[in-house]
Chains A and B, each alone.
Chain A
Amino acid sequence: MKVLVAVKRVVDYNVKVRAKADGSDVDLNNVKMAINPFCEIAVEEAIRLREAGVATEVIAVSIGDKSCQEQIRTSLALGADRGIQVETEGAVEPLVVAKLLKGVIEKEQPQLVILGKQSIDGDNNQTGQMLGALTNMPQGTFASELVVDGDKITVTREVDGGLQTLSLNLPAIVTTDLRLNEPRYASLPNIMKAKKKQMDVYSPADLGVEPKAHLTTLKVEPPPERKAGIMVASVEELVDKLKNEAKVIS
C-alpha cells in the first residue's frame, strides 16, 4: 500500500510571531521554520504503517517555493521513502493546495492520504475536507487512531462530546489530530540517508492546475493586548461580575 503524506512549512511553534510593520503579512525574516506539527504526526503515522508492514512506500509531498524542500528532507530523515515538491510562489490557499494534491494523487495513485487536520499558521482546517470532495474519496478527519484492515480503514475521530468511529473504504483521506501519535526525531544515520533519497519537483502546470487566488489578505495585525485581571473578594462578587459586567451568564 502506497501512502501519501502532505507536509507544510510553517513558522516553528516555539516562535512568537509578529506582524510586519506595514500590516501586509506575518514577519518571516530570520524566523525559524519547521514542519507543521499536525503534518509531523501524519508523517509519523505513515512511517509506523510502513514499519508495521501495512504500507510499502511513504511519499512526502509539500507545496511551496524551494525552501519547503527542507521540510520534505526532514520527512525523508524521519523515514519517508521519497519526496515531491510542487513548486509555487507566494501564499497558496487551501483550495489550490487541495487541487494540487489531487493532481499528485492522480499521478501516484496512493491507497491512503494522510494530512494534518490544520496548519498552525492559517488554522484554516479546510484542505483535507476539500481534497475529499475533489477526489470523491471517503474522509476521516481529526483522527486519534487508525487501523488498516484489508481494503478498509477504521478511523477513530475526536469530535465534540466524545469519539466517533468510522469505517472507510480505501483509498481514503485522513487528517490527524494531536493525540494520534508522538512523532519521533530524526536520527543522524537517517538524516544522512535522507540526502540520497529521491525528490521530484513538479510545477502546477505539470499537474494540470492553475493556482488562481480567490482570497486577498487585507491586513495582518496582532490581537489586542490582554488587559490585566482583577482579584475578586468572594464567589458572590464573581457571579455578579459574570452576570452584569461580562454578561456571559444570566
Chain B
Amino acid sequence: MSEYQEIIAQLRDTVAQICDQYAGEYWRAKDRAREYPGEFVQALTDAGLLACLIPEAYGGSGLPLSVALEITRAIHENGANAAACHAQMYTMGTLLRHGSDEQKARYLPGIARGELRLQAFGVTEPSAGTDTAGITTTATLDGDRYIVNGQKVWISRAEHSDLMILLARTTPRNEVSKRTDGLSVFVVELREALENGLTIRPIRTMINHATTELFFDNMPVPAENLLGEEGKGFRYILSGMNAERILIASECIGDARWFIKTATDYACERKVFGRPIGQNQGVQFPIARAYAQTEAADLMVSKAAELYDAGEACGAEANMAKMLAAEASWAAGDTCLQTHGGFGLAEEYDVERKFRETRLYQIAPISTNLILSYLGEHELGMPRSY
C-alpha cells in the first residue's frame, strides 16, 4: 500500500475541498426538493475521481479498489453523500471484465471523461430481489436485436444515466438445467430506449435517493450490446457485486466517522448544569463504543479490499464488511442523534438527514439477513436457510 500513501493523502484533500464547496446547506436544499446533486457530481467528475477504477488505457486512473474506497469514505466523512454517483465508479466493471474490445473502446473512454454516465444497474424486480435467478424480464432475439419486456424496481440513478447494465432472461427457465443459466447482460442506451418502449418512473423515498422503477414494453436492444456470452449473465452480475459492497461499506465508515466527530464536538461544547455533557459517561461511552465498532469494521473493509485487489475470492469478507460497517454507522448515527437531544432533529444540524441516509445501508445493496444466510451456509456449512 505504501506506494499509494501519498496519492491517498492528496485524494483526501481534494475530496475535502470539494465537499467544503458543497456543505450542509447544499444537501439540505437538495433533500427538501428531492433533487439530484448534479453540481456536486459534476465537481467529482471534473476532478477525475469517478474514473479512478477505469484502466489508464481507457482514460481513467487505473487505481485499485483499496484506493478508490478512500474517495467514497472521504466523501461521507466530510458530510456529503456519494450515493448519487458511486455507481459511476464500479458499474463499468461488468463491461470491463466481460465486454468485447470493441464494446470497451466504444463506451469506456466516454465513461472515464464523464460524458457518458453508466450508473444504473437493472437487476432487481418486484418479485425477485436477492433471488436474482427468479427475474421474469425477458430479452428475445429477433434478427439483429433483442426485444425486452418486463419490469425492474429500485433502479437507482436511471434518470441520471446514459447507459444501464441490464439483466434479462434470454432462455426460459424450463429450458435450462440450472435456474441461474439462461440470463444475459446488456448495455442499454437509455436516451434511445426512452423513445422506444422504456418508461422510467421515480419512486419517492425517505431519503433523497434518485431511485426508480422501469417498464419495458417491446424495447429493442441491438444484439451487439450483449455483454459476453448469451446465457451466462448471472455470473457476470455476481462478479461486480463485491466491489459495490466494499465501496458502500467504506461510505458507511465515512458516515460513522462524521457522526462520531459531530457527536464528540457537540458533547464537548454543549454545557448543561455548568459542565460539558461529554463529561457524563452516559453520553461519552456510547460515542466511544461507536468509535471502537467503526474502527473494527474498517479493518474488515480494508481486508476485503486487499483480497479483491489481489484477485482472490472475497465474497464473505465483502459481505461482512458491508454488514459490520452499516451496523457501525447506524450505531454512530443513533448515538449522534441522542447526544444532540432535540437539536439532533433540527434540519440545520444535518444529523437527522445523515441518520435517515445511513439507514439505507442495512437494506441496500443487500440486506443484513441475506448476508447472515450467506455466512451460515457458505462459511459455516450450515443448512441453507432459504
Contact = CB atoms under 8 A, between A and B. Distances in A.
Interface of A: 34, 70, 73-74, 77, 185-192, 194-195
Nearest to B18: A185
A37 B49 CA distance: 24
> Chain B's interface: helix, strand, loop or mixed, by majority?
helix
A188 B13 contact: no
A185 B6 contact: no
A191 B17 CA distance: 15
Contacts, number: 41
B11 A188 contact: yes
Nearest to B9: A70
A193 to B, nearest CB: 10
B225 interface: no
Nearest to B3: A195
Nearest to A189: B48
Contacts of A187: 14, 46-48
Interface string B2-20: 0000110111011001100
B274 to A, nearest CB: 13
Interface in B1-51: 6-7, 9-11, 13-14, 17-18, 46-49, 51
Contact of A74 (B10, B47, B49, B52): B10
B47 A34 contact: no
Contacts of B13: 34, 74, 185-186
A186 B9 CA distance: 11
B264 interface: no
B132 interface: no
Nearest to A35: B13
6 contacts: A74-B13, A185-B47, A187-B14, A187-B48, A188-B48, A192-B61
B5 to A, nearest CB: 9
Nearest to B44: A188
Pick the most buried of B7, B10, B46: most chain A CB atoms within 10 A of its CB.
B10
B52 A188 contact: yes
A195 B7 contact: yes
Given A190-B48, A191-B7, 17 more contacts: A70-B6, A73-B6, A74-B13, A185-B18, A185-B47, A186-B14, A187-B46, A187-B47, A187-B48, A188-B11, A188-B47, A188-B48, A188-B51, A189-B61, A191-B10, A191-B11, A191-B14
